[in-house]
């Protein structure tokens, strides 16, 4: 839906509907790092839409 409206987005979804992605310390660190990278990409105009059903570490150390 966001892609159709040309709105930047970054989602990691648990396919089982659990809160496993955000319900523990590892998940919280993942969310913070992905959010930091997402906002950095907005500031520099390098964003791309992201959707995953597995935990993918953020990689924006540049």
Residue 22, C-beta contacts closer than 8 angstroms, at least 6 positions apart: 28, 31
- Per-residue model confidence (pLDDT) at position 58: 79
Q: Is residue 48 a contact partner of residue 20, using CB atoms and an 8 Å limit? A: no
pTM of the model: 0.69
- On the 0-12 / 13-18 / 19+ scale of CB atoms within 10 A, 21 is buried
Q: What is the pLDDT of residues 23-51, one digit of tens each?
A: 778 878 888 888 888 899 889 888 888 88
């Amino acid at each position: 839906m966001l892609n159709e409206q040309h709105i930047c987005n970054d989602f990691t979804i648990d396919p089982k509907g659990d809160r496993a992605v955000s319900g523990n310390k590892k998940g919280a660190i993942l969310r913070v790092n992905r959010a930091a990278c997402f906002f950095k990409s907005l500031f520099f105009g390098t964003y791309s839409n992201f959707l995953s059903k597995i935990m993918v570490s953020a990689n924006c150390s540049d």
